Structure 1
Amino acid sequence: MNKITLLAAMGLCAGMTLLGACSGSDAPLERAADADENGSTPATTYTADINRQVLQELPFADEQDFIEAQRGLIASDDSLTVRGKGDKIIWDQPAYNFISGEAPDSVNPSLWRQAKLNNIHGLFKVTDGVYQLRGFDLANMTIIQGSSGWIVVDPLTTAETAARAVEFARQHLGDSAISAILFTHSHIDHFGGALGALSAAQTKAADIRVIAPAGFMDESISENVLAGPTMNRRAEYMYGMPLPRTPRGHVDSGLGKEPGIGTVGILTPTDLVDHTGQNLLIDGVSFVFQNVSGSEAPAEFTFYLPEKKAFCGAELVSRNMHNLYTLRGAKVRDALAWSSFIDEAAEIFGEADVYFGSHHWPIWGQARIAEFLEVQSDTYKYIHDQTLRMAYKGYTPIEIAEQLELPSALQKSFSNRGYYGTTSHNSRAVYQGYFGWYDGNPANLNPLPPEDIGRRYIASMGGADKVLNIARQAFAEGDYRWVATLLNHLVFAEPENKEAKALLARNYDQLGYQAESGPWRDVYLTGAHELRHGKTGKTQDLSVAKDMVVHSPRSNFFNVMAAQLNGPKADGMEMTINFVFTDLGETHVLTLKNSVLHHRQAEADPDANATLNISHDLFLDLALGQGDMKDLLFSDELSIDGSKIDLARFFALQDKLKGVFSIVTP
């Protein structure tokens, strides 16, 4: 998935508890007379008409996807609810039972169709000796029958959902042991549940092979650590985390229903795939790998099973357009390289009779697989090439996104529709990848901040009442993008203006209802939800990530500390602090000078202001907020040499997160 790794994937506040906390809420707005119990307003006639028009533009009579999505079904669980610590619901498939029949006016029919397909869940036979568990989490778990047991591919996001999936498979396929685990790539929905399938001790005791792409451990753990607090907050919007599961709320993420939020862990690979054409015999099954690192994930492989003529595309391809840029925030992906990897897969695995992936449902038949791969490849390459063509002519990212449409030849099937990524924001990603954030216009080189712009716009237009009247008229005419622009300025100028916030929320409802992209819908509707109800202010239990972050290099935590140093407050201060991990025989020296915090692994500095002696396990407990802080600080596993006052002054420089930051309000 573009997804969501480490702490951000689970809706957690990333970073050390010592360095920050999550909180915050806002006063709710009065519920509109025509709103449902969650405050969401109905679709307008403009939205209903736009959504009905979609039915005329796409081949909804084509049922092939539904045939393939149900092919090979062995069993399904109509009460598939997974609970975790404190009886918390981690996965709730029945919550989506409302998705049936024709699309309501409040959902784009194309997204509704994808949501119905993603609702088809259970244990499926893909081909002889290959099975998939779909609908137990955002991603699929694949089981390949080996000589002595099961080869498990991508053990889902959480230990709880993975354990439930394995249990379900054993109920219907027999009580087989697990002989190997494959992680196709470094996103958490493909490895986070590993310890629900097999514990680390079981893996080591049974000498079980764990195969992953080269660079997997570094990429899987570190991707979101530094960017975690911001990426986590934006992930709430991208996945509609605060939204109810209703026809006016979250219906689907395009790539699957939603990410599971539970206990995550990781297993250290025993074998690494580092080149295309690499062959491995895994529990008697021959695998041919393709290294596609740098496409959808920074560490990723696909593989081919020559004896079964089966191609696993991992997340190089999926049954929708993927993200070149993910809305939660991540490094831009290389569209040209991505397209080239798909072309390479089509060439070297061209004899495949069946394709299956890490998301969605399989495809059978060489001709259909070839067509699918061609459309996927050409979609990314078209967006890449045409973005550059228009950039050559001086068009800006906004102008390119407004004009760029896929050609008719690439709009004939549903397999590359913008259910997850979109042509609009992917074209901006291509531009950003080559040219960065600046569009070349001097007016955009050093613009005023949003609150200042808002106040000046509103004053120039004659005041808040006049702007509200203009917005009401535009809303009545269905001009929702213009309303969003107007009222965003007004809300940033007057954040306590309840009429402006209420109308902007109603407006975001309509933009969300019209969106074909699951993340776009969730972004708009989450914005509406926060305008009405305020920020959630939820604090998540970081301890569920301990089995994963235990593998994180200590340098990652010190990078977070450096990023959270309050530079102005540290101005003029110089300090050296030793961190000694007593059980690892490892010391890190932190030096503060010029309001910059540096760290290096080295021998303890004898002239340091203070030395913190701590076990790695206790360090993680403190970082993850696990246990009583007073008890932890007085533990035998922690001691301080040197100036305790200086150490306290050092930690006081950490800029703690005061609350969940605002997005739709100042």
Structure 2
Amino acid sequence: MPISKPLISMTAAISLGFTSSIALAQEIEHFHPDGKLPSEHTLKVFEEARANLPFFDTQDFEEQAKGFMGAPTSMIIMADAGNVAWDKERYQFLRDDDNINSIHPSMLRNSQLNLNFGLYEVIPGIYQVRGFDLANITFVRGETGWIVFDPLTAAETARAAKELLDEHLGDIPVVAVIYSHSHGDHWGGVRGIVNEDDVNSGKVEIIAPRDFMQYAISENIYAGNAMNRRLFYQYGVLLPANPFGHAGQGLDLNVATGNTGLIPPTRVIEDGVEEIEVDGIKMVFQNTPGTEAPSEMNTYIPSMKALWMAENVMGLVHNIYTLRGAQVRDSLRWSKYINAALYSFGDQAEVMFASHHWPRWGNDRIQEVLRDQRDIYAHMNNVVLHNVNQGVTINEIHNVYQSPASLDDGWTTGFYHGSRQNNVRGIVNFYIGHWDNNPATLIPLSPGDSAPLYVEMMGGAEKIMIKGRELHDQGKYLEATEILDKLVHAEPENQAGKDLLADVYEQLGYQQENSGLRNAFLAGAFELRSGIPGGESPKTSGPDVIRAMSTELFLDFLGIRMDSTKTVGMSFKINLVLPDNGEKFIIELSNEALTNIEGYQATDADLTITINRSDLEQVMMGAKSLNAQIENGTATAEGDLEVLSFLASTMVTFEIGFEILPGTATRVQNEKSNPFSIDAFADIPE
């Protein structure tokens, strides 16, 4: 939408004593009819940041721009299905500093750095396409072709990146792909740059760290529906790109939505440090499990003095605890692996590059960044545990922890993706769990049950609204959330209460330096005002991901989908036989739990199903039902088929539009995120 030039700057507005509603009324149009402009209290937070942070230091901008070779004429990449896969054009409003008074200046700086878009030469022989997705795609010249590090999220964006490379450097084939770690924005676009037949024939090698397939699949399946729903909060994927809405994601500006594919690795790096030759180039791989991902590795290329730090070292502090939901990471181990890279390769490297952001050149600069990143992860771990051992709890640590001034005064460790508050809470959880040691919180009431008691004791909704508005007007936004959250949970249909809480969330969102916190508060405000939005979110699974699931993982997920309350008093055993790969399983229902064990067969099974794994994959992907496979002879069944009918009746299809905030589900568009688009046991006779 059009944005006019400001009448006065934010600095002038404060110095002249204007309130935000006067100073900003004609500057920017809010995307939501009920949206509010930044308050005078929020503007003061921004002014303090401008006064105290080293905005005079422009080294990151110089490094970000270095080596630029060219970009496509359009910033929009279309998906094969006809929708937009990637749109960087909609973020160009970020270039207009003077016109943006609703984004924390430090976050705005990070988002402006992430406006890079095009092909860059890192050094001769190493090239990156940046700004085509959440991650970078990197091309290293081997003896016969390109070695690709991290082929993005979607086939369409990866293909567009390769086309841009070809335009400038000639059409040279890809001969190897390296997945640095198990997160989908680093492998999902592989089919855009290589053909699976070439992988199967040995023409293209795919290299990954140990346990890659296990975590690439399980992280996206077990709690995948909840993680996809939570993505709206951390990543703000359905917020409009706008100075009052989505304004960046820390790692880049957003996530591509296109075709996600996965071709399994042909070579796995198993040792802690392993040296191999890839298309004539010697590479030293350093496995770093339990850092940014449970399966991850750094790479050093001695002949180029080039150090690839995957997603372990970038232009910010990453998540120890990620709001979308994932295993809590080990901050101390992360620091130690960075330290190992520093002392193993850091004294030799002349360029350091990674799967996000821009490279660093020169050995002094590389060592500076490595040390700063090593130290912030160690500092968080050590200071948190120092306080925990003196009685500070998970509900206090975020208000106690302070990162070192020596790091806060620079730009190498900005909290743009991981936040101080949630990282340190995550560390407490990693070591001693969620309980704060207060017996009152051992068996807490659900919010919907406790909130009415609070509302009654506070004197009712009217008094809460009066006090909430007073706290809002005083800029005491966190205090306001304490009482308004209770009101909304007690009275989900109280739209005035939801609107006031939305106003509070919005100001808290504007004030955040961290993109995830900003998005979470603004997403909450959006849903409180308008209900749960519809629209396409990035998907964490697709046919390749489902097909790559192990049989055990598929059976485990059936146990997660099963509504155990429907199985009271029921039990059965199923033998599953997969002749083409030799697998055998017992699937057993007892005590309302569905379990499986590989390598065994029950002599007293109620049903035995024999089906090739290749045919079972059709069931896993939802292309065919198991009953149809039995009926057409693809699978055979011996025993009581009513067991399958009963199992089918217990399966729940997860919906992505579940309610997070009370009273927001009235306009839900129920989009299925369950990876099985057709129920695996559909059409079984009752």
Which has the higher mean CA deviation after the structures are superposed, 654-663 or 429-438?
A: 654-663
- Selected match of 1:410 from 384, 407, 419: 407
In the alignment, does 2:138 pair up with 1:157?
no
SS of equivalent to 1:346? helix
- Confirm or deny: 8 A CA contact 1:47 1:105 kept in the other structure: no
In the alignment, does 2:299 pair up with 1:303?
yes
Which residue matches 1:6? Answer: none
Q: In the aligned structure 2, how far is the partner of 1:426 from the partner of 1:615? A: 45
- Selected match of 1:286 from 277, 282, 285: 282
Which residue matches 1:15? Answer: none
- Selected match of 2:248 from 246, 252, 255: 252
Which residue matches 2:523? Answer: 526
SS of equivalent to 1:95? helix
Q: In the aligned structure 2, how far is the partner of 1:106 from the partner of 1:478? A: 15
Which residue matches 2:476? Answer: 479
For 1:82, the aligned partner's letter is I
Which residue matches 2:41? Answer: 46
Q: Deviations over 1:424-446 (max 9, x none)?
A: 11111111111111111111111
Q: Deviations over 1:275-325 (max 9, x none)?
A: 344221211212122221221111111111111111111111110011111
For 1:549, the aligned partner's letter is I
TM-score (norm 1): 0.90
CA distance change for structure 1 residues 635 and 511 in 2, over 3 Å: closer, same or farther?
farther
- Selected match of 1:268 from 264, 282, 304: 264
Q: In the aligned structure 2, how far is the partner of 1:137 from the partner of 1:151? A: 19
| Residue ranges of structure 2 left out of the alignment (5+ in a row) | 1-28, 664-686
In the alignment, does 2:646 pair up with 1:649?
yes
Q: Deviations over 1:324-349 (max 9, x none)?
A: 11111111111111111111111111
CA distance change for structure 1 residues 78 and 491 in 2, over 3 Å: closer, same or farther?
farther
Which residue matches 1:77? Answer: 72
Q: Deviations over 1:163-209 (max 9, x none)?
A: 11111111111110112111111111111111111021122335322
SS of equivalent to 2:498? helix
Q: In the aligned structure 1, how far is the partner of 2:168 from the partner of 2:289? A: 35
Q: In the aligned structure 2, how far is the partner of 1:145 from the partner of 1:359? A: 20
Deviation at 1:614, TM superposition (A): 4.8
For 2:53, the aligned partner's letter is L
CA distance change for structure 1 residues 81 and 35 in 2, over 3 Å: closer, same or farther?
closer
In the alignment, does 2:564 pair up with 1:575?
no
SS of equivalent to 1:229? helix
TM-score (norm 2): 0.88
Q: How does 1:18-37 map to 2 (within 5 A)?
A: 36-37=31-32
For 1:290, the aligned partner's letter is Q
- Confirm or deny: 8 A CA contact 2:224 2:540 kept in the other structure: no
CA distance change for structure 1 residues 544 and 216 in 2, over 3 Å: closer, same or farther?
closer
CA distance change for structure 1 residues 371 and 232 in 2, over 3 Å: closer, same or farther?
same
Deviation at 1:387, TM superposition (A): 0.6
Which has the higher mean CA deviation after the structures are superposed, 412-421 or 597-606?
A: 597-606
Q: How does 1:269-418 map to 2 (within 5 A)?
A: 269-349=265-345, 350-418=347-415
CA distance change for structure 1 residues 534 and 77 in 2, over 3 Å: closer, same or farther?
same
Q: In the aligned structure 2, how far is the partner of 1:183 from the partner of 1:537? A: 32
- Selected match of 2:116 from 104, 113, 120: 120
For 1:455, the aligned partner's letter is P
Aligned residues: 633
Q: In the aligned structure 2, how far is the partner of 1:541 from the partner of 1:49? A: 36
CA distance change for structure 1 residues 585 and 115 in 2, over 3 Å: closer, same or farther?
same
For 1:193, the aligned partner's letter is G
Q: In the aligned structure 2, how far is the partner of 1:643 from the partner of 1:597? A: 18
In the alignment, does 2:516 pair up with 1:500?
no
Which residue matches 1:131? Answer: 127
- Confirm or deny: 8 A CA contact 2:220 2:541 kept in the other structure: no
Deviation at 1:500, TM superposition (A): 0.7
SS of equivalent to 2:333? helix
Which has the higher mean CA deviation after the structures are superposed, 47-56 or 615-624?
A: 615-624
Q: In the aligned structure 1, how far is the partner of 2:55 from the partner of 2:627? A: 61
CA distance change for structure 1 residues 625 and 532 in 2, over 3 Å: closer, same or farther?
farther
Q: In the aligned structure 2, how far is the partner of 1:276 from the partner of 1:606? A: 43
Q: In the aligned structure 2, how far is the partner of 1:436 from the partner of 1:206? A: 46
Greater relative contact order (CA < 8 Å, ≥ 6 in sequence)? 1
CA distance change for structure 1 residues 294 and 444 in 2, over 3 Å: closer, same or farther?
same
Which residue matches 1:665? Answer: 662
Q: How does 1:616-627 map to 2 (within 5 A)?
A: 616=613, 619-626=616-623
SS of equivalent to 2:94? coil
- Confirm or deny: 8 A CA contact 1:578 1:590 kept in the other structure: yes
Deviation at 1:646, TM superposition (A): 3.1
Q: How does 1:493-572 map to 2 (within 5 A)?
A: 493-536=490-533, 545-572=542-569
Deviation at 1:621, TM superposition (A): 4.2
- Confirm or deny: 8 A CA contact 2:546 2:621 kept in the other structure: no
Which has the higher mean CA deviation after the structures are superposed, 614-623 or 131-140?
A: 614-623
How large is the Cα RMSD of the aligned pairs?
2.3
Which has the higher mean CA deviation after the structures are superposed, 604-613 or 588-597?
A: 604-613
- Confirm or deny: 8 A CA contact 1:543 1:624 kept in the other structure: no
Which residue matches 1:214? Answer: 210
For 2:54, the aligned partner's letter is P
- Confirm or deny: 8 A CA contact 1:543 1:626 kept in the other structure: no
Q: In the aligned structure 1, how far is the partner of 2:210 from the partner of 2:643? A: 42
Q: In the aligned structure 2, how far is the partner of 1:37 from the partner of 1:388? A: 43
- Confirm or deny: 8 A CA contact 1:566 1:655 kept in the other structure: yes
Which residue matches 2:88? Answer: 93
Which residue matches 2:435? Answer: 438
CA distance change for structure 1 residues 638 and 489 in 2, over 3 Å: closer, same or farther?
farther
SS of equivalent to 1:223? helix
Q: In the aligned structure 1, how far is the partner of 2:96 from the partner of 2:656? A: 42
SS of equivalent to 2:69? strand
SS of equivalent to 2:303? coil
Deviation at 1:634, TM superposition (A): 6.3
Deviation at 1:576, TM superposition (A): 2.1
For 1:664, the aligned partner's letter is L
Which residue matches 1:194? Answer: 190
For 1:429, the aligned partner's letter is G
Deviation at 1:586, TM superposition (A): 3.8
Q: Deviations over 1:139-178 (max 9, x none)?
A: 1111111111111111111111111111111111111011
